[in-house]
Structures are given as C-alpha cells and as structure tokens.
Amino acid sequence: MINTVLGEIKKDDLKVTSAHEHVFIDMRKCVDITGEEKESFFKPFDVRNRNEVFSDPYAILDNALLSGIDDAVYELEDFALAGGNTIVDCTLDEIGRDPLAMREISKKTGVNIILGCGHYYHKAHFSYVKKASVESLADEMRKDIFVGICDTGIKSGVIGEIGTSATVTDDEKKVLKAAGIVGAESNFGVHVHTDLYTENGFLVADILQNEGVRANKICIDHVDVLLRPDYIKKLLKRGVFVEFDNFGKEFYLSESRRFAYDLERIKLLKELISEGYENQILISNDICLKSMWKTFGGNGYGHILRGVKFMATENGIEEQTYMKMLTVNPAEFLES
Ligand SMILES: [Zn+2]
C-alpha cells in the first residue's frame, strides 16, 4: 500500500506516475541575489516576459514560486488528459509543502498525489536542522509517514527529496543518515536531490545503504542535466534507481553549466535500455518553475506523456518500455 493525500492506495492503482514533481514550491530563498539584478528580476512572471528565462530559469525571481489552487488544478487536469494518474510531490516544508492544498487539488482533479518528507539541501534548511540530532530528524520523518504531517492526518508516501549540495555538508549527511534509518525501517523509497554537476550519487548511496536501505529503494535524482554515461552506469550497477527528471529543462547558463536537451536525454535512455537497465530508471519533469506550467506558456506535467514520449518512440524506444518507466518502475520504487 502507498500513502497518498487521500489515504492509502494499492500499488496497482498508481498507474501512470510521474515520480518526481512539485505541485507547489517556493524556491525563492535558494536563488542567489547579488544586487546586480536587472529590474525585470523583481517583476511578476508572465507569458509576456518568459523570454527572460530562456537561458537562466532564475532571471526572474517569481519563476521560482508555484502556488495557487486553481492554477494547480488546471495543470493536473491537463496531466490527467495526457494520460497521467499519479504525481509524486517532492516539496518539503522548507520549500512550501502544503498537504491540505494538495488534498483539495487531488480531490478536484482525481490525480493521486504522494507527498515527501525530510529536508532539502543546506541553503533551504530551517535553522533548527543544524542543532537537531539524527534521531530527532528521523522522528520527524517517522511521524510524517506513520502518523501524519502536522495535525492533518495526511501521511507522506515517500522520503525526500532529501537535498545535497555540491560539497555535501555535515547537516546534509545528518539528514541523509536519518532518512536512511527511517528508509530501512519503513522500506519507503528515498529520493535524493544530487548536485547537477558533481558525482555525489555514490556518497549518497553509501550513507543510505550503511543504514540498511535496500538499493532498489534509493533514487539518485537529476542525473540528466550533465549527461555522464559512465557515472550513471556505475550507479545502476549498484542496483539503485536513477532519475531522468529534467525533461523540458534545456537551459544554457554557460557552456560548463548547460542543461542537456531532451533529445540527448532520450538518446542516452535508449543506450541504457539496450544495456538492460530499463527496470532502474524513473522519468519525470521535476516541475519547479512557473515557466514550466501551461498557465505560463510551458509544456506542463503532461510533457513526458506527449512530446517526450513521441521523441522516445521516434528514436527507437518501444512504447511499452517507455511506459514501463512511468508505471512498473515507480510502483516498484514506491511500494513499501
Ligand atoms: Zn525536485
């Protein structure tokens, strides 16, 4: 059974699942403000200024905020129209987790929503995380999973996305250890946000596995920004899930900090599938920006079921294999 915002559901009822999204999120505190910003940085995001975020998603601060029940309902109804059934919402308290809003949105749209627990990366941490013990951080996650978040009675169905920075900080290691303890106890899947340009997946897997988490309950997120086939294959050989979760994000911050394009992601996916790794890959859009919502001119949560799916099948990935990564694989990861 798997916890959703409307209660437990069976593994078979997950159906088409995007394993890592954000319905609401507030990442504004994680955006660097240098004082050199253009005037447009402080303006509300609008379809008419979305060109500003073509290369840098944070060229407009407001792009880092997803909120509003009516807009979210529209976006998830669109996901359902594209054939989607379940969204894993990896937003944590420090970046705007909102269980009651998610319950309302799930009721209105019929889309299952699964919530996470734990703490994001260092920059986002609440100040109490620094002084908290591993055991108290584990207790927080236990409560979210087995009792409910705050006094809502709504239970988390996944751990994470636990955040790690380019250099994994002591506080992040503490949170990871706590996630490992609760992950081993509960057999819940553990999502870990890894820095986009480093290879911290090994360290993350070491910490979680040391606490007893099974490899197939660990998902190393964001491996598809800078495509490193050797890194990804080494992770896969350990038995963990890797997640191609940036479909729709093709930003070009600089030559060394560019995001891979969707077509490049598909070509690497095809290579991984041909080498027998199709059971260990999850696919999503990790929507965390206004520019990705259809309301603001983006492709929406259905992107992986429309344009990306088309690109995959055009490039020789069997439809059945592609859909397996959106049905069977997330169910295996999420089932406790
Ligand atoms: Zn995320």
Q: How far is the CA of 289 from the centre of ligand 1 (A)?
A: 10
What is the predicted pLDDT for the residue at 106? 98
Q: How far is the CA of 288 from the centre of ligand 1 (A)?
A: 7
Q: How far is the CA of 286 from the centre of ligand 1 (A)?
A: 5
Burial 159-170 (b: 16+ CB within 10 A, else e): bbbbbbbeebbe
Q: How far is the CA of 59 from the centre of ligand 1 (A)?
A: 19
Q: How far is the CA of 160 from the centre of ligand 1 (A)?
A: 9
Tens of pLDDT, residue by residue over 159-181, are: 999 999 999 999 999 999 999 99
Residue 317 banded pLDDT, cuts 50, 70, 90: very high
Distance, first Cα to last Cα, the chain: 7
Q: What is the pTM of this model?
A: 0.97
Q: How far is the CA of 73 from the centre of ligand 1 (A)?
A: 19
Q: How far is the CA of 303 from the centre of ligand 1 (A)?
A: 16
Q: How far is the CA of 110 from the centre of ligand 1 (A)?
A: 22
Tens of pLDDT, residue by residue over 106-163, are: 999 999 999 999 999 999 999 999 999 999 999 999 999 999 999 999 999 999 999 9
Cα separation, 42 vs 25, in Å, equals 18
Q: How far is the CA of 61 from the centre of ligand 1 (A)?
A: 17
- The stretch 2-7 carries a mean pLDDT of 98
Cα separation, 42 vs 254, in Å, equals 22
What is the predicted pLDDT for the residue at 189? 98
Q: How far is the CA of 283 from the centre of ligand 1 (A)?
A: 12
Q: How far is the CA of 53 from the centre of ligand 1 (A)?
A: 19
Q: How far is the CA of 21 from the centre of ligand 1 (A)?
A: 6
Q: How far is the CA of 12 from the centre of ligand 1 (A)?
A: 24
Cα separation, 165 vs 119, in Å, equals 12
Cα separation, 130 vs 330, in Å, equals 32
Q: Long-range contact list for 317-326, CB < 8 A, 24+ apart? A: 317/266, 317/269, 317/270, 317/273, 321/273, 321/278, 322/283, 323/16, 324/278, 324/279, 325/278, 325/281, 325/282, 325/283, 326/16, 326/17, 326/18, 326/283
Cα separation, 1 vs 199, in Å, equals 33
Q: How far is the CA of 252 from the centre of ligand 1 (A)?
A: 19
Residue 21 banded pLDDT, cuts 50, 70, 90: very high
Contact 322, 274 (CB under 8 A): no
Tens of pLDDT, residue by residue over 218-262, are: 999 999 999 999 999 999 999 999 999 999 999 999 999 999 999
What is the predicted pLDDT for the residue at 154? 98
Q: How far is the CA of 285 from the centre of ligand 1 (A)?
A: 9
Q: How far is the CA of 161 from the centre of ligand 1 (A)?
A: 6
Q: How far is the CA of 75 from the centre of ligand 1 (A)?
A: 17
Q: How far is the CA of 257 from the centre of ligand 1 (A)?
A: 18
Q: Which residues surround ligand 1, an ion (CB under 5 A)?
A: 90, 286
Ordered structural domains, the chain, with CATH:
11-331 (3.20.20.140)
- The stretch 303-316 carries a mean pLDDT of 98
Q: How far is the CA of 162 from the centre of ligand 1 (A)?
A: 9
Q: How far is the CA of 292 from the centre of ligand 1 (A)?
A: 13
